[in-house]
């Protein structure tokens, strides 16, 4: 099957992903795959309510630096709500209330005197639908640094280039940086642009809420491959309803579920290879084998 220009892209993007990501490789809890055993994020007894309705109940877990944690579970189990507690995005939702502790490098970020602006710079977020600003590719990436007061032309040029390179988009856009709007890119490119925009603010943690669910399979694999590269330098937490994706990209998987009379809660968390082959909990086993959800 020949589809002209698109074929080389497919070949370049799929093969490295499939070869490099070994689901059965040694995992964080066994002490080898993670870049560091430093705990980057720790939640303690986190419960989150919308008004009187409890959406997340009593979640305690840790995320190691330079690892990828995947949050999986049925729709409505509180994955997105829980993800938003890491950079206080729930503050923006009227009626939402977070209880418990969320520590970043040991500091409780739910404290009222924590700078939320600085927190959201350190803990960046990528959403399900790519949301580039209606401005040039260059300005999309330079937006955050400019707002932080960086205006030296050379400094900005350099940061834009580095961020686009890290987001694996540079080669595709370098000739159109200032002329082309971010909105004129393909969906997969737009999502990598949004990742570049986050990287330009020099974050430590990147949160991704179903970042590939609006993308075609090739763009999805490209994003997955990018995540594995970014993991060398950043701590990543991803929500995905795609279990193959969780198995392919993450080091650790946390399974959430809920019941009619029970809010979203954490059933079990562990090295991804084990969760998908030897889960401890029956609920996890039923979910990953497709019996519900
Ligand atoms: P998931 O991401 O796992 O699908 P969510 O975190 O989006 O789950 O939702 C968890 C629960 O909280 C669901 O019952 C959902 O209806 C509810 N919820 C989510 N966002 C809001 C909101 N802004 N206001 C009220 N309830 C919400
Ligand atoms: Mg969600």
pTM of the predicted model over 0.85: yes
For residue 258, pLDDT beyond 70: yes
pLDDT digits (tens, 9 = 90+) for 271-282: 999 999 999 999
Q: 47: Cβ below 6 Å to ligand 1?
A: no
Q: Whose CA is nearest to atom 14 of ligand 1?
A: 76
Mutate which of 47, 59, 80, 81 for ligand 1? The one with the most ligand atoms within 8 Å of its CB, which is: 81
36: left (phi over 0), alpha (psi -120 to 50) or beta: beta
List the chain domain ranges. Answer: 6-131+204-288
Confidence at 18, pLDDT banded by 50, 70, 90: very low
Confidence at 291, pLDDT banded by 50, 70, 90: low
Task: Determine the CATH number of domain 6-131+204-288.
Answer: 3.40.50.300
Q: Which two tokens stand for residue 78?
A: 């509180």
| Nearest alpha carbon to residue 102 among 205, 213, 6, 245 | 205
Q: Alpha helix locations (H) across the chain?
A: 6-20, 79-83, 116-122, 137-147, 153-166, 170-173, 187-199, 217-230, 243-249, 272-277, 282-288
pLDDT digits (tens, 9 = 90+) for 151-168: 999 999 999 999 999 999
Average the pLDDT over each of 14-18, 51-55, 94-98, 262-266 and give the range with the smallest value: 14-18
pLDDT digits (tens, 9 = 90+) for 183-219: 999 999 999 999 999 999 999 999 999 999 999 999 9
Q: 270: Cβ below 6 Å to ligand 1?
A: no
Q: What integer is the mean pLDDT of 31-42? A: 69
How confident is the model at residue 261, as a pLDDT? 86
pLDDT digits (tens, 9 = 90+) for 213-255: 999 999 999 999 999 999 999 999 999 989 999 999 999 999 9
């Amino acid at each position: 099957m020949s589809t002209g220009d698109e074929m080389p892209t497919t070949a370049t993007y799929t093969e490295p992903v499939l070869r490099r990501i070994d689901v059965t490789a040694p995992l964080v809890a066994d002490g080898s795959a993670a870049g560091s055993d430093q705990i980057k994020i720790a939640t303690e007894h986190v419960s989150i309510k919308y008004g009187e309705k409890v959406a997340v109940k009593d979640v305690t877990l840790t995320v190691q630096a330079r690892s990828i944690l995947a949050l999986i579970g049925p729709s409505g189990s509180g994955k997105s709500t829980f993800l938003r507690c890491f950079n206080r995005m729930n503050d923006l939702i009227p009626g939402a209330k977070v209880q418990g502790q969320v520590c970043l490098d040991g500091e409780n970020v739910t404290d009222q005197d924590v700078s939320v602006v600085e927190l959201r710079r350190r803990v960046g977020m990528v959403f399900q639908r790519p949301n580039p600003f209606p401005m040039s590719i260059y300005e999309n990436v330079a937006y955050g640094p400019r707002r932080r007061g960086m205006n030296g032309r050379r400094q900005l040029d350099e940061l834009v280039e580095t961020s686009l390179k890290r987001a694996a988009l540079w080669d595709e856009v370098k000739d159109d940086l200032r002329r082309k709007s971010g909105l004129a890119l393909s969906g997969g490119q737009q999502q990598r642009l949004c990742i570049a925009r986050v990287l330009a603010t020099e974050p430590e943690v990147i949160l991704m809420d179903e970042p590939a669910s609006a993308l075609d399979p090739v763009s999805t694999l490209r994003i997955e491959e990018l995540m594995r590269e970014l993991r060398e330098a950043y701590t990543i937490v991803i929500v995905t309803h795609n279990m193959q994706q969780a198995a392919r990209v993450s080091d650790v998987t946390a399974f959430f579920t809920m019941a009619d009379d029970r809010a979203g809660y954490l059933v079990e968390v562990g090295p991804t290879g084990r969760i998908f082959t030897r889960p401890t909990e029956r609920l996890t086993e039923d979910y990953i084998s497709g019996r519900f959800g």
